[in-house]
Amino acid sequence: MDHLYQHFRREEKHFIDQVLQWKESVITQYSPKLTDFLDPREQEIVFSVIGDHSEVKVSFQGGVLDTERKRALLYPDYFQPENEDFKLTLFEVKYASKFITLQHRQVLGALMSLGIKRSKFGDIRFSNETVQFVCAREISDYLITNFLEVGRAKVTLKEKELNEFSPQAEVYQEIVTTVSSLRLDVIGSAVYNISRQKIQPLITNGLVKVNWKTVESVSFECREGDTLSVRGYGRSKVTAIEGKTKKDRFRIVFHVWK
């Protein structure tokens, strides 16, 4: 088992064990296993752990092709998955859009305030005045009854077909720079153009996430492919670490989403 763990970070061991339990359940019960919504890093781990296993396969679905958060379906090799097996519901939020502007954090906060785990719903998308989100079907009736306000705005939900999910418009800036180390505070300082003295308390106060998980250690070592988010500063991704310069500094390429 150690040979499997060595490919991942130490803090990911618990999730890896969960994936192995899911796989074992499929093998022993000869039936599919549907997970809650997983972030992209968790999806990557699931795919790596399941791999090309001859007895168990895995597929992901989050509404449409370009969704970020998706449910995973692990299933026996003879099973043919359909979209219906992922049990997804798409809602459009109806509100007085001529007078009110809703923000992502407001919608997310309103959903969380209902006592729903983040893993029960997927992407939240905005397109002009249209607000949509996808959720696990098992909570859809509860949401229709209880999701009535976002901030001070009165809202209602209208169910839509999954193929009506608004496309995601992603605009990012690519930046190439060099850093003295791959520590989180060093990388964060370079990415967001703020001093290490300023980003260090953000990290220790739990305002920084790496791969959608809060990291409170300034010395946490970043890797290629890591997604960073700093509250109030946005999200970025370390897309490449291109070795060292003659001055022994790491040359990195990262994307910063606008």
CATH number of the domain enclosing 123: 3.30.70.330
Burial of 93 (0-12, 13-18, 19+ CB in 10 A): buried
What pTM did the predictor assign? 0.83
Domain span including residue 131: 88-164
User: How would you class 219 by CB atoms within 10 Å of its CB: exposed for 0-12, middle for 13-18, buried for 19 or more?
Assistant: exposed
**Domain count for the chain:** 3
User: Both 48 and 93 in a single domain?
Assistant: no
Decide which of 50, 76, 102 is a domain's last residue. Answer: 76
Q: Which of 55, 76, 97 is the last residue of a domain?
A: 76
* Ordered per-residue pLDDT tens for the chain, 258 residues: 556 777 788 889 999 999 999 999 999 999 999 999 999 999 999 999 997 667 899 999 999 888 999 999 999 988 999 999 999 999 999 998 888 888 888 999 999 999 999 999 999 998 888 999 999 999 999 999 999 999 889 999 999 999 999 887 667 889 999 999 999 999 999 999 999 999 999 999 999 999 999 999 999 999 999 999 998 888 899 999 999 999 999 999 999 986
237: in domain: yes
Whether 251 and 177 map to the same domain: the answer is yes
- In 3D space, the residue among 233, 238, 201 whose CA is nearest the CA of residue 217 turns out to be 201
Q: Are 133 and 187 within one domain?
A: no
Residue 176 and residue 121 share a domain: no
Domain identity same for 177 and 160: no
d(C-alpha 150, C-alpha 220), whole Å: 36
Are 151 and 196 members of one domain? no
* CATH code for the domain in which residue 209 is found: 3.10.290.10
Q: Considering the domain boundaries, does residue 4 fall inside one?
A: no
Q: Are 191 and 160 in the same domain?
A: no
**Of 53, 106, 60, nearest in space to 83 by CA:** 60
Residue 87 CA to its chain's centroid (Å):
19
Q: What angle do CA 32, 70, 207 make, to 5 degrees?
A: 130
Which tokens is 139 given? 């909570």
Instruction: For residue 66, give the CATH number of its domain.
Output: 3.30.1370.160
Helix (H) or strand (E) segment spanning residue 185: helix 184-192
Domain membership flag for residue 100: yes
Q: What is the predicted pLDDT for the residue at 101?
A: 86
pLDDT, position 26: 94
Q: Are residues 20 and 44 in the same domain?
A: yes
Boundary residue ending a domain (76, 98, 123): 76
- Please check whether residues 115 and 152 belong to one and the same domain: yes
Go through 6-17 and write b for each residue having 16 or more CB atoms within 10 A of its CB, e for each that does not.
eebbeebeebbe
Domain assignment present for residue 83? The answer is: no
Q: What is the pLDDT, as a whole number, of residue 98?
A: 83
